[in-house]
Structure 1
Amino acid sequence: MAKKTIKDLQVEGKTVLVRVDFNVPMKDGKITDENRIQASLETIKYLIDHQAKLVLFSHLGKVKTEEDKAKNDLKPVAERLSQILGKEVVFSSVTRGQELEDKVKSLKAGDVLLVQNTRYEDLDGKKESGNDPELGKYWASLGDVFVNDAFGTAHRAHASNVGIASHLESAVGFLMEKEVKFLGDAVDQPVRPFVAILGGAKVSDKIKVIENLLDKADKVIIGGGMAFTFLKAQGKEIGQSLLEEDRIELAKRLLEQAGDKLILPVDTTVADAFSNEANIKVVSIDDIPANWQGLDCGPKTVELFADVLKDAKTVVWNGPMGVFEMPNFAKGTIGVCQAIADLEDATTIVGGGDSAAAVAQLGYEDKFSHISTGGGASLTYLEGVDLPGVVSIDDK
């Protein structure tokens, strides 16, 4: 890639500031999913092995109140990282000041320090998430070089990524390098046929993604709640299904622009209430009852989508095909997941968020070429928009 990578840096004996993404789900002070910690280990272990002194920065949740502070304390993450690495991870309970500075100064080669949640700095104004220049400069003063390995925050300009990078020699870590390579190659240099699958609730969340991928992909499959706005734009009756009335004209324009590139559902699983216990049936998209709502793709749609996918060499999937958290409306997402997993000799990428959660829930992680750790960042990348967290890194 055109940006410096971790291997371009001389790190031995240096204090290396590393932006990681430890924004892990927690319940009662316990981590419930440590995938993001695991994803950072290659970079952390490389720096330990190369005798760097590591200072790790991460946010956790949003911090607007004292209650948020207590709930989003990173200390349990430091403790878990210590267990994983088999060595002490020093923890600074503050994000600036003497305690932090003393702990950084006392680090020896191969030591690791985790700084308290960077968003503690947002409690009295958006210093972290607003990329406060003074804060970025202060954090940068603690180290010699900077490595950004937090793809999950790369679409935001924060003090702990863009702010630090503007003051130090900087590079991307292994995870960030992998994310940018997979998504970048898929969108900009795909092996064809290239099929994009977009799901989720709202067209408005993915307008720019649809527009960008219609230019780049051979086929764009639309599923999930957002499909009903397109079906309505085709003049179909959609009952009580999710509809963005103010996006109907946009959907008409996209349908005209796309021609046969855009693939929509042909049947749907409808329910008489938004509930897993509701009455359900499968109907053609031409026969949705007036008081029912479509909550999943039907079996013929799964067959259609699988048929479109069967020759694909590059697949990018972002967003579930239905309300997959309810078992009765998970079949569409499972079917699409299976169809992608069955592809041979194809590069298959899941773009974070709910679709990545679905893949994990279904146990298909090892069937995909790449599962993105950043839902919002991958979506921004698929829009064709530059990511500030990547742009701010030094060029080779």
Structure 2
Amino acid sequence: MPAFKTLDDLHDISGKRVLVRVDLNVPVSEGKVTDATRIERVAPTIKELSAKGAKVILLAHFGRPKGEAVADMSLGQIVPAVEEVLDQAIAFAADCIGERAQDAIARMNSGDILLLENTRFHKGEEKNDAAFTAELAKNGDLYVNDAFSAAHRAHASTEGLAHHLPAYAGRTMQAELEALEKGLGNPARPVVAIVGGAKVSTKIDLLTNLVKKVDALVIGGGMANTFLAAQGIDVGKSLCEHDLAATAREIMIEAETAGCTIVLPEDGVVAREFKANAAHETVTVSAIPADAMMLDVGPKSVDKVNQWIGKAATLVWNGPLGAFEITPFDTATVAAAKHAADCTRTGKLVSVAGGGDTVSALNHAGVADDFSYVSTAGGAFLEWMEGKELPGVAVLSKTA
């Protein structure tokens, strides 16, 4: 991974205006933040800069206002939650450029924190418009990007600013990039990847990239049915993209060429209806009843997955093995997650996981804190796993 500057490279910043791009796109219900995880993730960077006497100016987006000022997408409503996490007063400006922003910044003292209004209230943000970026840049002396989750977008506040101001990675961005480097960039081998979820169609690029980089690829969830069907196995009424059989076979051929073992379920837990505690049975994958659907992988398959986890030095995980949201079809995902957590705790395994469903699944299993790193960055994490360059990361490397 190319070098990038971090907060360790920032010296004598007392009184300096530091524009900090953060991810504050948190869930809100009836004007209250219902999950402050993303605020908690960026708190260390904000506190460190404030403690060093910087004037900390936060840039963030919220929702998809499409370049219009939309009242219920104002960042003003999350100020109390940010103040609670930081245990510090936060000022708010009703715009991110222009007089209102400039006046609020002019009132700042060293160590103060100011949140500017939603950058996406301006069409120039998502267009990475040069004039809009220049207006943003006027408000700062330095730029810190701590929003890995938005790094796959070349927007004004995630990419453009790094061309105007000295640019640095915040602590969350730094931790994410270092974890990803251990995961796939320069990992300890053997490397095992677990990829689950519903559809192959959403993860073709991911699977194609992984088979070239990992020693074993475990495929679970609805995706596994497509691979089984591609081998001529009748998967009954299981979720399956039959039209992607040729794609699945191509991925298996690529894996064989690259020396990557693809691990598919040998048995599964099947039911006739998709609901919690539905009547179910465990069968081999070659004996799935025509009127049933596989909703989880079976115990033999879990043993095989756990054996691979046990052999691995590095594990990269994206997506559950079954329909973990409903019991008892969460059994395989929970068992594999707990085994990976045990191996990580004993120091035998570096485990990196990410993607929305994955975070939920690991939280459900009660082991998210035991993994080496759990990324909350959905799209950016996936694009990194697909081997794509992330504009918000690349620009930090280029300015290093």
Q: Calculate the TM-score normalised by the size of structure 1.
A: 0.94
Percent identity over the alignment is 41
Instruction: Please give the residue correspondences for 1:49-68 in structure 2 after superposition, counting only pairs within 5 Å.
Output: 49-64=51-66
Deviation at 1:277, TM superposition (A): 5.5
Match of 1:34 in 2: 36
Which letter does structure 2 place at the counterpart of 1:280? H
Deviates more, 1:93-102 or 1:308-317: 93-102
Quick one: structure 1 residues 361 and 130, their matched pair in 2 at CA, closer, same or farther if it must change by over 3 Å? farther
Instruction: Please give the residue correspondences for 1:83-122 in structure 2 after superposition, counting only pairs within 5 Å.
Output: 83-121=84-122
Q: What is the number of equivalent residue pairs in this alignment?
A: 391
Instruction: Please give the residue correspondences for 1:361-372 in structure 2 after superposition, counting only pairs within 5 Å.
Output: 361-372=364-375
1: CA distance, partners of 2:130 / 2:283 = 56
Which letter does structure 2 place at the counterpart of 1:164? L
Match of 1:130 in 2: 127
Match of residue 355, structure 2, among 344, 352, 357: 352
Deviation at 1:87, TM superposition (A): 2.0
Question: 1:235 aligns to what SS in structure 2?
Answer: coil
Quick one: structure 1 residues 361 and 135, their matched pair in 2 at CA, closer, same or farther if it must change by over 3 Å? farther
Question: 1:327 aligns to what SS in structure 2?
Answer: coil
Match of 1:140 in 2: 137
The question of 1:230 aligning with 2:232 is answered no
Match of 1:46 in 2: 48
Deviation at 1:338, TM superposition (A): 1.0
Which letter does structure 1 place at the counterpart of 2:74? D
Match of 2:17 in 1: 15
Match of 1:156 in 2: 153
The question of 1:387 aligning with 2:390 is answered yes
- Asked whether the equivalents of residues 154 and 390 of structure 1 are also in contact (C-alpha less than 8 Å), the reply is yes
Deviation at 1:337, TM superposition (A): 0.8
1: CA distance, partners of 2:211 / 2:218 = 10
2: CA distance, partners of 1:98 / 1:357 = 42
- Asked whether the equivalents of residues 146 and 164 of structure 1 are also in contact (C-alpha less than 8 Å), the reply is yes
Instruction: Please give the residue correspondences for 1:315-334 in structure 2 after superposition, counting only pairs within 5 Å.
Output: 315-334=315-334
1: CA distance, partners of 2:278 / 2:87 = 50
Q: Deviations over 1:66-101 (max 9, x none)?
A: 8x9333332232212212322210011223332221
Q: Calculate the TM-score normalised by the size of structure 2.
A: 0.93
2: CA distance, partners of 1:43 / 1:7 = 11
Match of residue 213, structure 1, among 199, 210, 215: 210
Deviation at 1:339, TM superposition (A): 1.6
1: CA distance, partners of 2:163 / 2:236 = 53
Match of 1:290 in 2: 290
Question: 1:348 aligns to what SS in structure 2?
Answer: strand
Q: Deviations over 1:113-145 (max 9, x none)?
A: 011222222xxxx43222222222211111111
1: CA distance, partners of 2:191 / 2:327 = 30
Q: Deviations over 1:232-269 (max 9, x none)?
A: 11110011212223321011111123236100111122
2: CA distance, partners of 1:277 / 1:192 = 39
Q: Can you give the 5+ residue segments of structure 1 that lack an aligned partner in the other structure?
A: none
Which letter does structure 2 place at the counterpart of 1:84? V
1: CA distance, partners of 2:329 / 2:179 = 30
Question: 1:98 aligns to what SS in structure 2?
Answer: helix
Question: 2:286 aligns to what SS in structure 1?
Answer: coil
Instruction: Please give the residue correspondences for 1:155-304 in structure 2 after superposition, counting only pairs within 5 Å.
Output: 155-259=152-256, 261-276=261-276, 278-304=278-304
Deviation at 1:160, TM superposition (A): 1.2
Which letter does structure 1 place at the counterpart of 2:399? D
Question: 1:56 aligns to what SS in structure 2?
Answer: strand
- Asked whether the equivalents of residues 197 and 322 of structure 2 are also in contact (C-alpha less than 8 Å), the reply is yes
Question: 2:315 aligns to what SS in structure 1?
Answer: strand
- Asked whether the equivalents of residues 352 and 375 of structure 1 are also in contact (C-alpha less than 8 Å), the reply is yes
Q: Deviations over 1:348-372 (max 9, x none)?
A: 1112321112212332122111111
1: CA distance, partners of 2:298 / 2:273 = 17
Which letter does structure 2 place at the counterpart of 1:22? L
- Asked whether the equivalents of residues 135 and 163 of structure 1 are also in contact (C-alpha less than 8 Å), the reply is no
Q: Deviations over 1:3-44 (max 9, x none)?
A: 111222342211000000111112111111111111111111
Deviation at 1:64, TM superposition (A): 4.5
Which letter does structure 1 place at the counterpart of 2:192? V
Q: Can you give the 5+ residue segments of structure 2 that lack an aligned partner in the other structure?
A: none
